[in-house]
Structure 1
Amino acid sequence: MTSTVPLAPTTSPSPTTATEPATPGAPTLDDRIAGALVGAAVGDALGGPVEGRSPEQITARHGGRITGIVGPWDGDDWRTARPIAPYHKGDGHVTDDTLMTHALVRVYGKVRGHLDAYAVADHLVPEMIGEPRWIPELEAEALPLQRVFLAEKWIVARLHYGHVDPREAGSGNIVNCGAAMYMAPVGLVNAAHPQAAYAEAIDVAGAHQSSYGREAAGVFAAGVAAACAPGATPATVVEACLALAKDGTRAAIEAVCEAASRHRDTESALVPLRAAVAPFDTVGPDYRAPSLGARRPSRLHAIEELPVALGMLLAADGDYRQAVLGSVNYGRDCDSIATMSGALAGALHGERAVPADWAATVAEASRLDLRAPARTLAEVAREVFARDTARRRAHEAAFATLAGTP
């Protein structure tokens, strides 16, 4: 790594800036949570209509780089045009990234505490199959299960029908970003504590993913937690991720962020970031025609989305608009990349970083209250912190008695 993004040792604590007092005007916990969740949803909506395309295809279709919310790739033929049919991607509609994120927030609202794989079985599965909700891309009410991708349907098949141990249910699923894409709430509940966020997300994601898909979920949650720390910067977020990431995930983040550190804008970073992540990405150059070895467990590989999202955050120097638009114009799985970079930039700077006109359009088009989940999660985060603090103090007192220390 270059000096721009110093490499953190694997045993390092969370960034030292986490202990610094908040500066006047710095985002509060509530503001960072709102920024992360609203920012993720807006990034998701911007990336949805060009998901799976290359930067060159995006430029040809839109007459240049995307600079805001756009309509469906196939215009009025979105209901029947393959391979997207029957989803209305575009016009400010969020995708399954946001649907799953909001579902996880509702689980936190019910549990009012830390989550694990059993919470996925007991609460997230019922969220997916128990109650119809408005699905923006279907323009109808439906069970969330009917919108999510096959990798997310796996959760229901394995846990509801297969009765698999929740801690092992993710084994056998395709290895993709399906778990990582909705792990921002885990990072927010563990705000400023990347290690705790990583551990909780690894447990939760075990019901959905294995291998580097599960690892990415833990590292993304850690990155969001690190972004909430007072004084956090894109570099400290990357440091926290590298301190916890394992195997190919760590190597991919290191390679992509080293490439990103040479750029001061996301436009010039588009090609270099793809080149940096390519050796770790199993999908191959044609996103819609994956290679034979795609999405299989490996200690050598990584999902593409998280390293690129971190790279975009670095190249944009944390600027929300630039990071998200860079993620969108990168193409490929750009709705998930923009969801992640949007969550990270929103957590760094608060809701004011998210363009208000974009947020208003997405909320109206998707028929969603984008701020309500943030209010719920902020309440839960405070409750969790109070209980964690009480448990920690009880342990400190017990250990001091055992050790005979004052």
Structure 2
Amino acid sequence: MASIACTPPVPAPDDAAGLHERARGALLGLAVGDALGAPAENLRPSEIRARWGRITGYVTDHPCGTDDTEYAIFSGLLLARHGSALTPTHVEAAWHEWIADRAEGPFRGAGFSERGTLENLRRGLAAPISAQHRHAWSDGLAMRAAPFGVFAAGRPAEAARLVAIDGSISHEGEGIYGGQAVAAGVAAAMTGAPVPVVIAAALAVVPDDSWTARSLRRAVAVAHRGERAVRCAVVIGGYPWTDLAPEAVALAFGAYAAADGDFAEAVLTAVNMGRDADTTAAVAGALAGATRGAAAIPAHWATAIGPSRGRCLPSMAGHHVLEVAELLVPAPPRPAAPLPCASPPGEPGGRTSERGTGRGSPLAGYADSEVRS
């Protein structure tokens, strides 16, 4: 059996307010990267340059997320419902409840791995057989893995365990490894760990002789030389599909390493490398957003992200990635304001003393963790 390295020491999560900021950064960063990268998906760098020069921001008037954002919301809501008690049965039931047994949007369930999974589920197949299709190695799990790292902040091994449970419905082998690398990396980044520790945490949860690990190591080894070197190190140029998990995950970590965790630089590096640009930029954005927090995301990029439109998963329409962040890492309650001074009871103007009840739940105003129909 292939060996898996021991998970390196990861700093303990910082204060609750800091964790909340990083959770928002991770998931908003994912959505921003997805929206920035969507127009460049499946393009070569030369094609990107011919159309836009170098992409430095949104190139559409109405940027929005794709299946990457909607499936991340789906997995985040599922995780908020079950937490560490998540099982394959829970995941399979959610796929039926929220996707397979509903009418689909124009994207027809999204990418190849999702299509294969839905076809198997609708034929009555269950996990792990539902994951046995021709695209089980795709980056469809990696694109929705960030919520697991947010939930298991500072616990990369737990993030990897949980995302593998989610992936057991739809992926096998390298497809699972890609999701585990992303989830573990985000879990480490949620503590403010430096970039090399984030990368080491990702490598520690996948077999060291796997395609995913080899590609990731090659990407980060040349990251100091820039995006062209990263792309040349891992891209399978003659292969017709761009959603290979080992390739996409390596490109994302390479972009993150090349930028030394800087959000804008990491995401734009991923976008301008093309290939599965929405996914690579989404993953790079999740890593950098967790590392630096939501405040590091340029405001004009962040404000363009609205609630999901449900173009791929109608059941996700109306949900915002920040809603998921609040469910997974609630904001710490604010200290109750001191009560005003009052005259003792019985004196003129006096009133009976009241005990402060404090503020309501930090989740007040949010839907519960079950998806709204």
**TM class, shorter-chain normalised?**
0.7 to 0.9
Query: RMSD across aligned C-alpha pairs, in angstroms?
Result: 2.6
| Runs (5+) with no aligned partner, structure 1 | 1-8, 72-89, 133-141, 264-268, 296-301, 381-406
Equivalent of residue 125 in structure 1, options 74, 93, 96? 96
Is residue 2:262 matched to residue 1:319?
A: yes
Partner of 2:80: 109
Residue type matched to 1:15 in 2? P
Is residue 2:42 matched to residue 1:52?
A: yes
Q: Distance in 2 between matches of 1:323 and 1:38?
A: 14
CA-CA distance at 1:226 after TM superposition: 1.1
Q: Distance in 2 between matches of 1:121 and 1:210?
A: 15
Partner of 1:236: 197
CA-CA distance at 1:315 after TM superposition: 0.7
Residue type matched to 1:35 in 2? G
Aligned 1:32-43 pairs, distance under 5 A: 32-43=22-33
Compared CA separation, residues 57 and 228, structure 1 to 2 (3 A) = same
Quick check: which has more Rg, 1 or 2? Answer: 2
Partner of 2:342: none
CA-CA distance at 1:41 after TM superposition: 0.3
Compared CA separation, residues 58 and 365, structure 1 to 2 (3 A) = farther
Compared CA separation, residues 352 and 11, structure 1 to 2 (3 A) = same
TM-score for both structures, normalised by structure 2: 0.78
TM-score for both structures, normalised by structure 1: 0.72
Aligned 1:224-373 pairs, distance under 5 A: 224-229=186-191, 231-246=192-207, 247-260=210-223, 262-263=224-225, 269-278=226-235, 281=236, 284-285=237-238, 289-290=240-241, 303-363=246-306, 369-373=320-324
CA-CA distance at 1:14 after TM superposition: 3.6
Q: Distance in 1 between matches of 2:164 and 2:91?
A: 12
Partner of 2:173: 211
Q: Distance in 2 between matches of 1:27 and 1:329?
A: 33
Aligned 1:90-105 pairs, distance under 5 A: 91-105=62-76
Deviations 1:245-264 (A, max 9, x none): 2211111111111011x33x
CA-CA distance at 1:304 after TM superposition: 0.9
Identity of aligned residues (%): 31
Q: Distance in 2 between matches of 1:27 and 1:345?
A: 18
Paired positions, count: 318
Compared CA separation, residues 240 and 53, structure 1 to 2 (3 A) = same
8 Å contact from structure 2 (residues 308, 320) kept in 1: no
Q: Distance in 2 between matches of 1:372 and 1:349?
A: 19
Q: Distance in 2 between matches of 1:178 and 1:216?
A: 9
Residue type matched to 2:320 in 1? D
Compared CA separation, residues 365 and 91, structure 1 to 2 (3 A) = farther
Compared CA separation, residues 372 and 365, structure 1 to 2 (3 A) = closer
| Runs (5+) with no aligned partner, structure 2 | 310-317, 332-373
SS of residue matched to 2:246: coil
CA-CA distance at 1:178 after TM superposition: 1.0
8 Å contact from structure 1 (residues 107, 124) kept in 2: no
Is residue 2:142 matched to residue 1:180?
A: yes
CA-CA distance at 1:184 after TM superposition: 0.8
Q: Distance in 1 between matches of 2:102 and 2:119?
A: 17
Compared CA separation, residues 176 and 127, structure 1 to 2 (3 A) = same
8 Å contact from structure 1 (residues 130, 143) kept in 2: no
8 Å contact from structure 1 (residues 14, 193) kept in 2: no
Compared CA separation, residues 185 and 370, structure 1 to 2 (3 A) = closer
Partner of 2:325: 374
Q: Pick the structure with more helix per residue.
A: 1
8 Å contact from structure 2 (residues 30, 285) kept in 1: yes
Q: Distance in 2 between matches of 1:215 and 1:344?
A: 17
